[in-house]
Structure 1
Amino acid sequence: MSDLAQLSPQHLWQHFAKICSIPHPSKHEEALAQYIVNWAKEKKLHAERDAVGNILIRKPATPGMENRKSVVLQAHLDMVPQKNNDTEHDFEKDPIQTYVDGQWLKARGTTLGADNGIGMASALAVLSDDTLTHGPIEVLLTMTEETGMDGAFGLQPNWLQSEILINTDSETEGEIYMGCAGGVDCITTLPLTREAVPSGNQIFKLSLKGLKGGHSGGDIHLGLGNANKLMARFLTTHAQALQIRLLSFNGGTLRNAIPREATVVLSLPQANAEALRKAGADYLALLNYELAAVEKNMALQVESTECGLQALTPDSQSRLIGLMNASPNGVVRMSDSVKGVVETSLNVGVVSTEQDHAQIVYLIRSLIDSGKEYVVEVLTSLGELAGAEVDAKGGYPGWQPDPDSPVMNLVRESYKKLFDATPHIMVIHAGLECGLFKRPYPEMDMVSIGPTITGAHSPDEQVHITSVGRYWQLLTQVLKSVPERN
């Protein structure tokens, strides 16, 4: 963390270093939450938590600013836990190891947690920096955003006192977000039956690795490889010709991360072992040709193994491979009303097989509710054809754009004043919590800003150091410029 101590703004980077030192993957952010509450109370700030664990901290206005509108600075407490296959790291116990690489801050073989740790650090920096000028401040830190927006779902009315909310979860400096996609999880469960592995068959593990992965919202339009889909494609092409009998299929770890790895365990006649290796090499060459522009480090490994599982029956195998191969993935439709933005998409995020069933977890996103509903209907139809059960749950609304938003206009004018440039006003395909906040606080004026972060939800995550400084300048200028209460 010594590199962070040299960066500016110092308050922000000091808080981020502390955040990195306390493990806080989704569903395991309580230690960080307790640290922040204790820190706030030591600073003599009002701090409390609600029934779902969200943190609310209040800081009074600086002298002379008491009549300004109150502002909520909002971030989420959790981070996405992803690591490279050869990295030894326990996200529930080990701190994030950061390092500076030129203009970027990165982590050693894991996600960095800049999503949304930088935003969280900026909110804490506002609380700790008594040289700033601002009206009344509230800081809202929500629980378990990345795996279901638990904190946002649980936010109750009449807890926040502010008229303005600044969400800090955006990932491109110079862009101001005034709307986002909604989403819904879709889980397909396919019953499986098994039988003994054919006598004389040899067992192999086939592993597809080295894909970039990324954010299933913000990166879904980039054409990145989805390891689950690519593995299903291989099996579709070769299962019959090589007399493959499938024992297991597992890929991806999170429904909101584009899967980087997938592994199948299979058996086939010993006489076909060399043909399997050749088919794997040929398939890798094909993928390197097709995905050359976006995937640089793919590997397909074929190795002998042992497994205590029985083989799927031919019928179960055919249904699973067919369902996986036919599942849509990626961009479904681009928006007509917001040019250049994805309207509807889905990510085949996690595939797993158990003794008697397989499960496929999709995350569907859309700027419009009917887009989500359509994709759920498509997956339901596929499930019915395969004899699977489909369950859609955990849906959350999008954040509808308000082009007349006063705080959006304030942020835009503040950016022009600071940097002599006009920021882009955007709608993001990723899911922000603002849509859910509108339920208990329908009149709250909201905007989202942040520094430049790339590779979120993957071990390639990095944050641009200079952009953090510019984001901080913008945030503090906006707080200084908030108008008086009506």
Structure 2
Amino acid sequence: MGVLDNLEPKSVFHFFEEITQIPHGSNNVQMISDYLVKFAKDRNLEYIQDETRNVIIFGEASEGYEDREPIILQGHMDMVAVHDADYDIDMATQPLKPVTDGDKIWAEGTSLGGDDGIAVAYCLALLDSKTIPHPRLEVVITTNEETGMDGAFAIDLSPLKGRKLINIDSETEGVLLTSCAGGARFYATLPVSKVSRSGMLYDIEVSGLLGGHSGTEIIKEHGNANILLGRILAAVSDKNDISLVSINGGVADNAIPVNAKATIVVPEDTSKEAALKAVKDLEAIVKSELEIKDPGVKFTVTAREKGTFDCLDNASMKNVYKLILSLPNGIQAMSASVPGLVETSLNLGVIVSSDNEVTLEYAVRSSVDSSKDALLDRLVYITEAFGAKAKITSSYPGWPFKSDSKLREHMIEVFKRMYGREPRIEALHAGVECGLFGQKLEGLDCISIGPDMEGVHTTSEKLSVASAARTFEYLCEVLK
């Protein structure tokens, strides 16, 4: 018996649980891609697996639907794989442990991967069914969406005949997503010099934050652990002779970081009490600032050992925290045309330190391409002013609103018939792959849907069981 076997629809949750047992974090997609190929082979379904490990599976039309236009169903196979700091798991090789109370599904100590495992589960349930009526299905499951939409960039869509695409990568039931922001990834790599210093080694850690998806939840202005760690280093080094050994934080540039840690050396002739007091004083200030937005924020200082350690020299340390605090972060502009919609933002998702450099990794988003480009220019200018190297990758287009959408009209009508009300028509600050697909398939008509999820890209991620069932029922009715 699987953990989710008693949930309905059984086929959807059966495949969803199977997916949780296959490690499939971004850039670790070989196993999940091969699982999809085996699924197709076992059912004698036509399929394509490309060099990027994207998979396309074709399902023949049900009886009586042979003359209908094919429908493209689309999701991505990778997940943001994160775990609690004290949870012992290697997410590259070990399965998740799904848990349910019948109302929600989550994973013990880790993210769940409902984004976008539920899309894959829906598609497999449809392809596996002998009773759900539908036109010919062209199921496209891409790779590494969470780290730059690599699969969508690389995929060859010329075998597809459909020009109506239902993307299943949204997180609110009853919403038809009709446009989204474009984005890019930005890297600022700062060279550092090292010296040897003796003293007491301390770890300073920021934790207790809520985090979240840097697109959908940036509007909540949760605390960013990386930014807060930069503030700590600035506050402690202002009046104390300390040295920085290392600084690391976050797990993905598109996840608002909930943890960050710096290791410092406090020399014997420096007042440890004064240095620690600077951390505690700033913690009180930050707690006040985030009292409503992030009430669980916590700064922890842990003494480790005495000795002599390789550290950043003073100029390098100051360059690190000054660069962190000089580059913009968070909401940059709100939309003038769509009330409540973030237009432009960025998120310092990851800080990584190595022997001779420190790299800051950002997810940049905007629904206005020129604003995105202007923000990227600003990042480059500031980064280069610090003597650091700037790099932009994975720039992807926004998905513009289509005024004449037959697919939208159809899906609105079906929703009204099923639920007695109209769905919400929305734009999204986060990115989905529809913009790239629209560039590859002329005249493509797209809508994005999904069930209720919360805390995606974090260990608090939960999927609503009832919403997942209703959304699948709606999808089936749309296809019928």
**1:291-314: CA deviation from partner (whole Å, max 9, x where unpaired):** 122324333211122577422222
Q: Aligned residue for 2:435?
A: 435
Q: Aligned residue for 1:364?
A: 364
Letter paired with 1:204: Y
Q: CA deviation at 1:417?
A: 0.9
Q: Aligned residue for 1:351?
A: 351
Q: Aligned residue for 2:293?
A: 294
* Map 1:258-407 → 2, pairs under 5 A: 258-270=256-268, 271-306=270-305, 309-407=309-407
Letter paired with 2:192: L
- Name the SS for the 1:346 alignment partner: strand
Letter paired with 2:285: L
Q: Aligned residue for 1:484?
A: none
1:250 aligns with 2:248: yes
Q: CA deviation at 1:175?
A: 0.6
Q: Give the length in aligned residue pairs.
A: 478
Counterpart contact for 1:369–1:397, Cα < 8 Å? yes
C-alpha distance 51-159 of structure 1, shift in aligned 2 (>3 A): farther
Q: Aligned residue for 1:204?
A: 202
Counterpart contact for 1:174–1:424, Cα < 8 Å? yes
- Name the SS for the 2:145 alignment partner: coil
Letter paired with 2:90: D
- Name the SS for the 1:57 alignment partner: strand
Aligned mates of 1:173, 1:456 — CA distance in 2: 15
Select between 153-162 and 60-69 the one with higher mean Cα deviation. 153-162
Q: CA deviation at 1:171?
A: 0.5
Aligned mates of 2:227, 2:386 — CA distance in 1: 17
Aligned mates of 2:319, 2:351 — CA distance in 1: 14
* Map 1:105-124 → 2, pairs under 5 A: 105-124=105-124
Letter paired with 1:435: G
Aligned mates of 1:52, 1:352 — CA distance in 2: 26
Counterpart contact for 1:155–1:437, Cα < 8 Å? no
Q: Aligned residue for 1:98?
A: 98
Counterpart contact for 1:257–1:349, Cα < 8 Å? yes
Counterpart contact for 2:105–2:463, Cα < 8 Å? yes
Aligned mates of 1:149, 1:290 — CA distance in 2: 35
- Name the SS for the 1:409 alignment partner: helix
1:227 aligns with 2:264: no
Q: Aligned residue for 2:25?
A: 25
Q: TM-score, normalised by structure 2?
A: 0.96
Counterpart contact for 2:60–2:136, Cα < 8 Å? yes
Structure 2 residue runs without a partner (length 5+): none
Q: TM-score, normalised by structure 1?
A: 0.95
The runs of at least 4 aligned residues of structure 1 exceeding 4 Å deviation read 306-309
Aligned mates of 1:427, 1:70 — CA distance in 2: 26
**1:224-278: CA deviation from partner (whole Å, max 9, x where unpaired):** 1100000111222221212222221111121111111111111223442122333
**1:429-451: CA deviation from partner (whole Å, max 9, x where unpaired):** 11101111112102121110000
Aligned mates of 1:448, 1:373 — CA distance in 2: 26
Aligned mates of 1:357, 1:96 — CA distance in 2: 34
**1:107-155: CA deviation from partner (whole Å, max 9, x where unpaired):** 1110000000001100111111111111111111111111121110012
1:61 aligns with 2:61: yes
Counterpart contact for 1:236–1:325, Cα < 8 Å? no
Aligned mates of 1:222, 1:313 — CA distance in 2: 37
- What's the % identity of the aligned pairs? 37
Select between 88-97 and 74-83 the one with higher mean Cα deviation. 88-97
Counterpart contact for 2:106–2:112, Cα < 8 Å? yes
* Map 1:170-209 → 2, pairs under 5 A: 170-197=170-197, 199=198, 201-209=199-207
CA-based RMSD: 1.5
Aligned mates of 2:235, 2:299 — CA distance in 1: 15
